[in-house]
Structure 1
Amino acid sequence: MITIDPATREIIWTPEFYVMKYFAHAVQSVAVRIGLPGNWSSNAVAFLNPNGQTVIVAANSTINRILLHWNLNLSIRSSLKSKYQL
């Protein structure tokens, strides 16, 4: 997740580092994983934190912005940027 270039001693933060950073920030250690059915279930994961907060982490591997609609006893609308957009 973090590598160091032996020649330059430069620290390189890999994409996996940032994925773990987002998970660690939002998902509490005793959270329960919630199953997600549907087309995006292989690109998303959801957790229920002990404080009742629902956390959804999703990845968009397409070149287009995608609008997702989640229904977990509440309505959540979100827009995921393409992995190619900053």
Structure 2
Amino acid sequence: MSSIHDNRFSKLVAELRLARTNKGVTQVELAERLGIQQSDVSKVEKCQRRLDIIELVDWLTALDEDPCLFLQRAGLLAPGAQ
């Protein structure tokens, strides 16, 4: 099974989108911060493109998100784990 179709990936993407929108950052602004195209942000948010761990850390840094807390919110890391 490809991780792009895994429910955990869908939860991760939903949490990424929520983090972005809660901070009032548009896809265009995030793309500019990351040095990528807006269409790449859109593809990730539509679960059409995967992120590797390095890209995930870059996205979280661009959104000023703590990776451990983010993964806990997404249900991918046990609370208190660091």
The structure showing larger relative contact order (alpha-carbon pairs under 8 Å, at least 6 residues apart) is 2
- Greater helix content: 2
Q: TM-score, normalised by structure 1?
A: 0.29
- Greater strand content: 1
Q: TM-score, normalised by structure 2?
A: 0.30
